[in-house]
Amino acid sequence: MRVDIISIFPEYFAPLDVSLVGKARERGILEIRLHQLRDWTRDVHKTVDDTPYGGGPGMVMKPEIWGEAIDAVISEGRSALGVPAGAPRMIVPTPSGRPFTQETAIEYADEPWLLFTPARYEGIDSRVAAEYGSRLRVDEVSIGDYVLAGGEAAVLVIVEAVGRLLPGVLGNARSVADDSFAPGPMANLLEGPVYTKPPVWRGHEVPEILLSGHHGKIARWRRDQALRRTLEKRPELVDRLDPAGLDKDDRKILAEFGTACGVSFRARPHDVAN
Ligand code: JFE
């Protein structure tokens, strides 16, 4: 996968040299190219912002500079990728975008080329998204309901979430199929607690079921823990659980602990009996 990032703070992306994403780059699975937006300015002050039409506080990023930068980065990428007509998926972080979720990450992991345009100030003149929206797929995305000072941190989040899904990045050590928000039997369930050695640390014991070697019982215990934790911390996720994916034991746990967490799971009478 190729990733281009255009920003007035390319130094902000130093973390992409490290750890999982850094390793994916070293191994050639992921190619990330950083671009300084100010390289496309023509004035001595390298101005990228201007006052908002209609008045109000703050500044807005100028469309011409972004247009020049995006055109150049796409042209350069086309030559490098050897696909004269290829186009990246353009991702614009903004607090007013569609929520970025694990589903979005899975979708992006299938793309050969992503272009990120993280803004500063109050964002980019809206005509930039309109212009490129007619030429490429443009996604305005939010990584959560809080306001950042700019889009760079959001790009780091998205690149890490996507990078770990690329074939060969995680290896077989861990399956992405077990992820809390991935589709499948554990979809929309939070992960339960995890433990390693020693068996007793400062008086806290590892639950003895995990030391038992009963793989079936361990799997059941883990699922109970996942259900209880989800009820407690993210009750709204319980409404998204696929009823067809719930067995008798699941429904019993949900009925037992759900009421305490304000979740009215409609248990069938036979689930609660015993
Ligand atoms: C920018 C800002 C006041 C924006 C446009 C560019 N999930 C998420 N939270 N915050 C962002 C994304 C984000 C992304 C890009 C950004 C915030 N800001 C700051 C300040 C209003 C804004 O609305 C500038």
CATH number of the domain bearing residue 263:
1.10.1270.20
How much is the pLDDT for 272? 46
The one-letter amino acid code at 160 reads E
State whether 152 and 228 are in the same domain.
no
Q: Which domain holds residue 193?
A: 178-273
For residue 88 and ligand 1, the question of a CB distance below 6 A is answered with no
The tokens for 24 are 């994916």
Is residue 108 a contact partner of residue 116, using CB atoms and an 8 Å limit?
A: no
State whether 129 and 197 are in the same domain.
no
Evaluate the omega torsion of the peptide bond into residue 198 and state whether it is cis, within 30 degrees of 0.
Answer: yes
State whether 128 and 182 are in the same domain.
no
70 located within any domain: yes
Residue with tokens 């009996």: 273
173 located within any domain: no
172 located within any domain: no
State whether 137 and 184 are in the same domain.
no
For residue 125 and ligand 1, the question of a CB distance below 6 A is answered with no
The tokens for 127 are 């005509």
170 located within any domain: no
Helices (H), the chain: 19-26, 63-81, 102-109, 127-133, 152-163, 215-233, 235-238, 248-258, 269-272
Domain closes at, from 97, 131, 163: 163
Q: Which helix (H) or strand (E) holds 215?
A: helix 215-233
Spacing, Cα 125 to ligand 1 middle (Å): 13
243 located within any domain: yes
State whether 88 and 219 are in the same domain.
no
Domain closes at, from 110, 132, 163: 163
For residue 124 and ligand 1, the question of a CB distance below 6 A is answered with no
Q: Which residues have a Cβ under 8 Å from the Cβ of 54 and sit 6 or more positions away? A: none
26 located within any domain: yes
State whether 157 and 184 are in the same domain.
no
207 located within any domain: yes
220 located within any domain: yes
Domains contained in the chain, number: 2
CATH code, 48: 3.40.1280.10
State whether 128 and 186 are in the same domain.
no
The tokens for 251 are 């429904």
pLDDT in tens, 131-177: 999 999 999 999 999 999 999 999 999 999 999 999 999 986 567 87
State whether 144 and 226 are in the same domain.
no
State whether 144 and 192 are in the same domain.
no
Domain closes at, from 106, 140, 163: 163
Q: Rounded to an integer, what distance in angstroms lies between the CA atom of residue 255 and that of residue 214?
A: 26
User: HSE (CB half, 13 Å, CA atoms) of 271?
Assistant: 15
State whether 45 and 127 are in the same domain.
yes
State whether 188 and 134 are in the same domain.
no
Spacing, Cα 189 to ligand 1 middle (Å): 29
The tokens for 272 are 């609660």
State whether 100 and 183 are in the same domain.
no
Tell me which residue has its CA closest to atom 13 in ligand 1. 94
Beta-carbon count within 10 A of 93 CB: 25
Walk along the chain (274 residues) and give the pLDDT tens digit of each residue. Answer: 999 999 999 999 999 999 999 999 999 999 999 999 999 999 999 999 999 999 999 999 999 999 999 999 999 999 999 999 899 999 999 999 999 999 999 999 999 999 999 999 999 999 999 999 999 999 999 999 999 999 999 999 999 999 999 999 998 656 787 788 887 778 899 999 999 999 999 999 999 999 999 999 999 999 999 999 999 999 999 999 999 999 999 999 999 998 777 787 765 544 444 3
The one-letter amino acid code at 272 reads V
Spacing, Cα 142 to ligand 1 middle (Å): 9
For residue 148 and ligand 1, the question of a CB distance below 6 A is answered with yes
The tokens for 245 are 């994916």
